[in-house]
Amino acid sequence: MTESQLFNLPTPLQLECGATLPTVQVAYHTYGTLNAAQDNVVWVCHALTANADVLTWWSGLFGPGYLFDPADYFIICANVLGSCYGSTGPLTPVSEGSEPLYQAFPLVTIRDMVAAHDQLRQHLGFSKIHTLIGGSLGGQQALEWAVQQPTLFENLVVLATNAQHSPWGIAFNESQRLAIQADQTYYSATPEGGQHGLKAARAMALLSYRSYEAYGTTQAEVEGDKLDQFRASSYQQYQGDKLVARFNAYTYVTLSKAMDSHNVGRGRGSLAAALKQIQARTLVIGITSDVLFPPAEQQLLARHIPTAQYVEMESHFGHDGFLIETVQITRFLERFYSRRLVHS
Ligand SMILES: CC(=O)SCCNC(=O)CCNC(=O)[C@H](O)C(C)(C)COP(=O)(O)OP(=O)(O)OC[C@H]1O[C@@H](n2cnc3c(N)ncnc32)[C@H](O)[C@@H]1OP(=O)(O)O
Ligand SMILES: N[C@@H](CCO)C(=O)O
């Protein structure tokens, strides 16, 4: 694990909603060495509850001996604006000496996240990115960035994501926010506020990340005569507690609203017109059992991005397959790069 590095934006950040964040800090991790030609940069955009330490949460794809090996690539991942892993968010001050804003933290969009990351890119002096990759919320950022800067990225890899967040996805997120906001401690504006609601929200979200088959495989009862205390119940409880131990309700609300805001077509005529701007060679990966970002959304991306290839991954892990099925993803990527992987 590497240490997080910090970048402070040189000027206040004007958000899409009209609010301004006076100071913004972006936490990021890098691995490997930038080569002389500076053409081995792989930029990873992370999903909802992850952090910038991609080697911990995407191991199997990133790390020594894996496809994106720090021996070959200069890998960078930045924590998104609004998160709680080092970048400015609801639990951090937004100006020198101020108190955190908690539920008053302004609305952040995917475009605001991209704006912060692009400032970091400029600060680091990268004028070319070999590969931009992200799944889910990370894929939303990657698509938005690739639309905004068509010539910056050589390759774009997006998994289990979409061009515009769907009514179905927004409804899932709103239901989770309802659980958080029904927890009166949410209004306490303390780091622990809303934890009961957050636990319920994560349990609800899990249903959209997995599948009927996945629960059937991993949570089936050994004894068939139980009346209560089922394994699936204890799994939901456990997963809720696990997120509460490492996250907070205010960040969850902020990031789920950012996901809802995603629409590459906003102000650009249409989704198709926006996606047509992308010049990066693109691989779109869908997952057969993904009910949250179903294959039809990936197929739409591939239809409108001029150079896109579409592949579909057989998996019963549902949406979270993009984090879990690293062997299949590696195979798809090797084919995509046609073995042009190692840089001299
Ligand atoms: C410090 C950090 O921030 S690290 C994490 C950073 N964040 C991320 O990476 C976000 C993206 N990652 C994820 O969403 C997840 O880690 C995934 C999707 C990759 C994998 O999910 P996991 O929860 O690890 O796997 P899975 O769904 O199989 O659950 C396994 C866990 O449930 C527990 N479990 C399984 N069945 C049950 C049950 N019936 N009752 C109670 N617990 C259960 C297991 O013991 C295991 O516990 P552990 O995580 O403490 O080892
Ligand atoms: N398991 C992922 C799901 C969101 O894509 C996360 O927690 O970030």
Residue from 290, 304, 315, 316 carrying the catalytic annotation: 290
Instruction: Output the pLDDT for position 2.
Output: 63
For the segment(s) 5-166+263-337, the CATH number from 3.30.300.30, 1.10.3720.10, 3.40.50.1820, 3.30.1490.190 is: 3.40.50.1820
Instruction: Output the pLDDT for position 223.
Output: 80
In this structure, which ligand is nearest to the CA of 211? Answer: 1
Residue 324 CA to residue 263 CA, distance in Å, equals: 26
- Ligand 1 atom 34: residue of nearest CA: 235
* Distance from residue 261's CA to the centre of ligand 1 (Å): 27
Q: Which atom of ligand 1 is nearest to the CA of 246?
A: 3
Instruction: Output the pLDDT for position 195.
Output: 98
Burial 209-219, CB ≥16 within 10 A → b, else e: bbbeebbeeee
- Mean pLDDT per 10-residue section of the chain, whose length is 344 residues: 86 98 98 96 98 98 98 98 98 95 98 98 97 98 98 98 98 98 97 98 98 95 90 98 98 98 98 98 98 98 97 97 98 86 40
Question: Topology of 169-258 in CATH?
Answer: Rna Polymerase Sigma Factor; Chain: A (1.10.1740)
Instruction: Output the pLDDT for position 3.
Output: 74
How far, in whole angstroms, is CA 58 from its chain's centroid?
12
* Distance from residue 319's CA to the centre of ligand 2 (Å): 8
pTM: 0.96
Within 6 A (CB) of ligand 2 lie: 47-50, 136-137, 209, 320
* Distance from residue 49's CA to the centre of ligand 2 (Å): 6
Instruction: Output the pLDDT for position 203.
Output: 98
8 A C-beta contact, residue 1 and residue 51: no
8 A C-beta contact, residue 280 and residue 132: yes
Residue from 136, 208, 211, 315 carrying the catalytic annotation: 136
ipTM of the complex: 0.95
Determine the residue of 319, 322, 324, 325 to mutate for testing ligand 2's pocket, defined as the one with the most ligand atoms within 8 A of the Cβ atom.
Answer: 319
Active-site residue 290, yes or no? yes
Ranges of each domain in the chain:
5-166+263-337, 169-258
Beta strands in the chain (DSSP E): 5-8, 13-14, 20-21, 25-31, 41-45, 74-78, 129-135, 153-159, 281-287, 308-313
